[in-house]
Amino acid sequence: MASLPAFGRLVAAGWTLVRADALIPREIDPVLPAGVRAVAGFLRLFAGRAAREGRPGERLGRCLEHMGPVAIKLGQFLATRSDIFGIQFSDDLGRLRDRLDPFPTDVARAEVEQALGRPLAGFLNEFGDPIAAASLAQAHRAVLADGRIVAVKVLRPGIEQRVAKDSATLRLAAGLLLGFAPALKRLEPKLFTETVIRSLELELDLRFEAAGAAEMAEVMGRDAFMTCPKVVWDGVARRVLTLEWADGVPLSSPASLTLPGLDHRLLADNLIRAFLAQALDHGVFHADLHEGNLFIDAPAKLVAVDFGILGRLGKAERRYLAEILYGFLRKDYARVAAVHFEAGYVPPHHDVDAFAQSLRAVGEPVFGRAASAVSMGRLLAQLFDITALFDMHLRPELVLLQKTMVTVEGVARRIDPSHDLWAAADPIVRRWIARELGPAAKARDFADEGLRAVRALARLAEEHGAPIVIAPPPRPPSRLAWFAVGAAVAGAAFLLARWWPL
């Protein structure tokens, strides 16, 4: 019976979309197959007044806002893909990022005082009206007692209960999807749903976000692609987060991309490189990089906020990602295919050469062309066909990575419509390959293997009671011996470099 309320909410959501003509909007009828047009025409018999008010993106945005935080998250993702859905549609959905209806300032003030357990008078000199309101929380400009300007983030009252209800509805939808469309089992809708729900649950404790912001500040400090504000720990609690003020203009603002002196290409490059450096070099990345969470300044400064969702990659996943990207950069489709099989992304009963051929069919039409000349909708459809043909299942541990890659690419295209994703990624991927798979890395791995072997032999000897002989320390080598060792190492490095071109 627990699913009965969830089923009711799911039916209500579908009815809301139908009444607003937001499920299959009439504006896209000309590009729909005849069968889909017939279904859409039938559904429009039930459309109401909301179907006549606004463009498709506006109608869908109102529906998603009414449905709650999970639906709003979906709308935020769709808003980044102007290359697929069109600029107007994306702009109309853009208000879901940070321009939702706020709750009153006096309620926010009371929430902060209750969460921190003390009056604001001793902590803040000023507490302003909301400057941004999103699905889970809203932000206020404030001034600390020491004069620093900060942003105070406060969770919406009752949001925990709303997310719990939405999560139950999402789980039910995933189960129904499997029942009505068994062919979609390889997309693992239930596992995907659990990943999304878990990330939402973590977002509801702002102490986790504070810790994530501090961690990402350390990671971003190692490169100059992106920065983030410092945490004010005295203003952190489960439902409140205080950060130093983020300089710049919100990328969600229509005027942001008209700033004087803005270098659009470099700004888009910095976004791609910041994400890849985080994921490849450090194994942790900001997993919600939509326009509402980014501030920019000329010529190409990027400041990120909202660290409620962090993605993490293990060493093996980082290597697979780097080798796949590197293989595409070199057009080495055979290696890209081999990595997919090594990682288990493609079942072993398939032919690796046939998979490499299918990858070439996707990659070749894209390289060397301006982003504006590439249809992402067509490209994604082709990739989806390939994943179905080779029985590729969705990997839950890569859900955040894949979602963030698509979001980041969409934002980069908004910044610079002619942006070349591969050219931006090239130096970061090559840097990782040189460091982790180059001659020096091979020598380091060889030494580590030798050390592990020696330790294993020592443990084996101890287990079998064999005496461990401690030899006297050797005499220090002569200068001639050091010269010979140096020459040998230099020669080996030269041969490895010749054998392993980058």
CA distance 278 to 87: 29
CA distance 281 to 272: 14
**Cβ atoms of residues 223 and 273 within 8 Å:** yes
CA distance 349 to 361: 21
Q: Is 302 helix (H, G, I), strand (E, B) or coil?
A: strand
CA distance 207 to 477: 56
Alpha helix (H) ranges present in 181-310?
189-203, 206-220, 264-276
φ/ψ of 297, rounded to 5, equals -150, 155
Q: Secondary structure of 121-162 in the HEC alphabet?
A: HHCEEEEEEEEEECCCEEEEEEEECCCCEEEEEEECCCHHHH
Torsion sign (Cα): 186, 187, 189, 191 = positive
Q: Is 232 helix (H, G, I), strand (E, B) or coil?
A: coil
Give every CB contact of residue 180 below 8 A, 6+ residues apart in sequence.
none
**Cβ atoms of residues 245 and 231 within 8 Å:** no
φ/ψ of 301, rounded to 5, equals -85, 135
Alpha helix (H) ranges present in 364-478?
376-389, 399-415, 421-437, 439-463
337: number of Cβ within 10 Å: 25
CA distance 196 to 70: 9
CA nearest neighbour of 130 among 139, 121, 122: 139
CA distance 359 to 327: 11
346: number of Cβ within 10 Å: 21
Q: How far is CA 484 from the centre of its chain?
A: 50
**Cβ atoms of residues 327 and 321 within 8 Å:** no
For residue 48 the two structure tokens come to 């109401």
DSSP 385-411: HHHHHTTPPP-GGGHHHHHHHHHHHHH
CA distance 38 to 129: 48
Q: Hey, which residues are catalytic here?
A: 288
